[in-house]
Amino acid sequence: MASCSSFLSEEQFLCSVCLDVFNLPVSTPCGHNFCQACITIYWDSEAVYKCPLCKTTFQSRPDLKVNTWISGLAEQFKISLQLADNGSCSPDQQQPESGRVSCDICTDAKLEAVKSCVECQTSYCETHLEPHQRVAGLKRHTLVNPAQDLQDHVCKKHNKLLVWFCRTDKVVACDICARKDHVGHDTFPVQQEYREKRALLRTTEIKVQQMIQDRLQKVHEIKESMKLSQKDTKDKIAKSIQEFTALVSDIEESQVELVRVIEERQKAAEGQADDFIKDMEQEIGDLQMTVANLRDLMHIEDRLRFLEAFPSKSLLPHTMDWDAVSFNSLGMEHLGNSLSRTMSQLKVMLKRMKTEIQRFCDDTQMLSGTLWEVQQYEVDVVLDPDTAHPMLFVTEDRKRVSYSEEVQRIPTAKTFMNYYAVLGESGFSAGKAYYEVYVGWKIEFSLGVATESLNRTEAVREPRHGLWAIEFVVDKCVASSSPDVPVYWGKMERVGVFVDYEGGGIFFYDVEASKCIHSFTDCIFTETLYPYFNPCDNEYGSNNAPLVIVQVNHSE
């Protein structure tokens, strides 16, 4: 079959608008042919629809379809032009490596393409690229570095290379689209946007890798801490067992010694009593004999004999004063009193020890995430607008507070000026209290409790100043007193705050995770504690969402 180039001239395959070989040719009702993109752009810029060649005017815009016959002839013409001049590829050209773009014209061994033509939608090796460097119509084509799926790099509407990126609409565009559809938008060259995005990816990857390393380091630190904690726990258990065993042993020894002393004392008292009994029995015998003698003397009626027989010594025999001798306590009363005092003191110490153990147990349960228990102490909290920073907006129901870029109120003596903070209206001076705050997806906030005497004009953040709070920034949570040490990672939707006034503890919960994220323990409270809210400003991005005091969802 004869080549189309043998009976058709090059001019017959050129569009009269772009003066290039037809690309998706269409035919007008008057019989002339144009590139689809060329006639579309031409009519878009004209007030009436007419043929660019014969100037025939159409009442309505014709609905043009691609002329497949002419399109096929044009493609064959392109190929015949290239093959007619060069024939086959030179044998010394290199085969494309894996992943490289191949020449679309090579029929046998596919060589590596050196350029891709936007208009032809074809990639060429060095040999088959030659017509584009010689033929007048082809020299006007746009050549780019070899690309796979070249059609994805070309505007479907204008058949122009996509060289612009619109940040406003997040789309790529050709020159015509950029001038027509993206006027006033933030448009940048694709290469520039590509470089910046690649740089952003590299920077982000470095940050992510650093975050991974930080977390791996934190995991390592936690594991090492747990190893030390396990060893410390074993040592404490062993020491406590040793001390309790020694204490029990001392008590048992004291008990044995006390029993021995009492028994010996009893035995000595019994021996002494036996001696006293013998002496008294002897005295009883002497007294009975004295009674008999006195009776005999009473029976002498002769006065002379009576006087002669009357003893010259005492009528009573020698006896001991037994009234000074007592056997009621056996001398144990003092020991008993001393033992009672010691046992009372020991019981007090044991009770105190049990209290400390129970308190430690309660703290452990709190830290173990028993959220449902502390939620039983829910209280109703409302905000005190008089304490709010002038840039904070407090709603009428006093349940929401958010940062505002405009002044909302005139400062008073109670107003916070150091932080964007506000206190609750009522405080806690005894017992236990719990409340929840919806934080949504805020990127920065601070919550906790504060004393009424907290300084509101200078930057303070430690418990010794009267503030017990946590601070959330972007993706981590820290204690206000230790801003460089993360205590919790990740976003939170609801935060629970639990105050145990007598127990000296303040606990913070991630409600969705039912997990205690931080706690202040062993505190000594001497003032009333007020709920503390700080929605923060927009330092790290848009952060105008409010902090919302919400009710506990007991159904969960």
Interval 463-514: pLDDT, tens: 888 999 999 998 899 998 888 888 888 888 999 999 999 988 999 999 998 8
The pLDDT assigned to 49 comes to 86
DSSP 161: B
Task: Spell out where 24-121 has E strands.
Answer: 25-27, 33-35, 49-50, 57-58, 115-117
Which of residues 302, 331, 360 is at a domain's end?
Answer: 331
Specify the higher pLDDT residue, 225 or 524: 524
- 483's CB contacts (< 8 A; 6+ apart) are 461, 471
Specify the higher pLDDT residue, 539 or 6: 539
pLDDT of 93 higher than 50: no
Mean pLDDT for 251-259 is 87
Q: 37 and 158 in contact (C-beta within 8 Å)? A: yes
Specify the higher pLDDT residue, 165 or 1: 165
Same domain, 421 and 537: yes
Q: Is 190 exposed, middle or buried (0-12, 13-18, 19+ CB in 10 A)?
A: middle
Mean pLDDT for 172-178 is 89
pLDDT of 404 higher than 80: yes
Q: pLDDT category, 359, cuts 50, 70, 90?
A: low
% the chain with pLDDT above 90: 23
Same domain, 382 and 453: yes
Model confidence pLDDT, tens digit, residues 366-393: 544 478 889 999 999 999 999 999 999 9
| Token duo for residue 132 | 């584009």
Specify the higher pLDDT residue, 514 or 313: 514
The pLDDT assigned to 83 comes to 54
The CA distance from 193 to 189, in Å, is 6
147: in domain: no
Mean pLDDT for 14-25 is 79
30: in domain: yes
pLDDT of 92 higher than 50: no
Same domain, 469 and 327: no
Mean pLDDT for 74-80 is 70
Q: Output the average pLDDT for the chain.
A: 83
When mean pLDDT is compared across 28-32, 106-110, 198-202, 266-270, the lowest value belongs to: 106-110
pTM (predicted TM-score) = 0.39
Q: pLDDT category, 80, cuts 50, 70, 90?
A: low
The pLDDT assigned to 368 comes to 43
Same domain, 435 and 292: no
Same domain, 396 and 543: yes
- 96's CB contacts (< 8 A; 6+ apart) are 102, 103, 110, 111, 112, 113
The pLDDT assigned to 168 comes to 92
Same domain, 423 and 540: yes
Specify the higher pLDDT residue, 391 or 141: 391
**C-alpha distance from residue 515 to each of 308, 380, 432, 508, 518 (Å):** 113, 22, 19, 9, 9
Same domain, 410 and 500: yes
Q: 128 and 103 in contact (C-beta within 8 Å)? A: yes
227: in domain: yes
418: in domain: yes
Q: 319 and 287 in contact (C-beta within 8 Å)? A: yes
Nearest to 114 by CA among 131, 128, 135, 133: 128
pLDDT of 96 higher than 70: no
Which of residues 87, 102, 131 is at a domain's end?
Answer: 87
| Token duo for residue 335 | 């020991």
Q: 33 and 8 in contact (C-beta within 8 Å)? A: no
Same domain, 382 and 324: no
The CA distance from 166 to 357, in Å, is 66
Which of residues 87, 106, 133 is at a domain's end?
Answer: 87
344: in domain: no
Same domain, 305 and 415: no
Residue numbers of the domain that contains 7? 1-87
32: in domain: yes
Chain centroid to CA 433: 24
Same domain, 323 and 384: no
Mean pLDDT for 538-547 is 90
Q: pLDDT category, 271, cuts 50, 70, 90?
A: confident
The CA distance from 168 to 320, in Å, is 123
Number of domains in the chain: 3
267: in domain: yes
Same domain, 326 and 375: no
The CA distance from 270 to 26, in Å, is 138
151: in domain: no
| Torsion sign over Cα 525, 526, 531, 536 | negative
**C-alpha distance from residue 526 to each of 87, 427, 435 (Å):** 99, 13, 21
Mean pLDDT for 177-196 is 87
The pLDDT assigned to 533 comes to 97
Q: Is 125 exposed, middle or buried (0-12, 13-18, 19+ CB in 10 A)?
A: buried
Mean pLDDT for 152-181 is 87
Same domain, 309 and 386: no
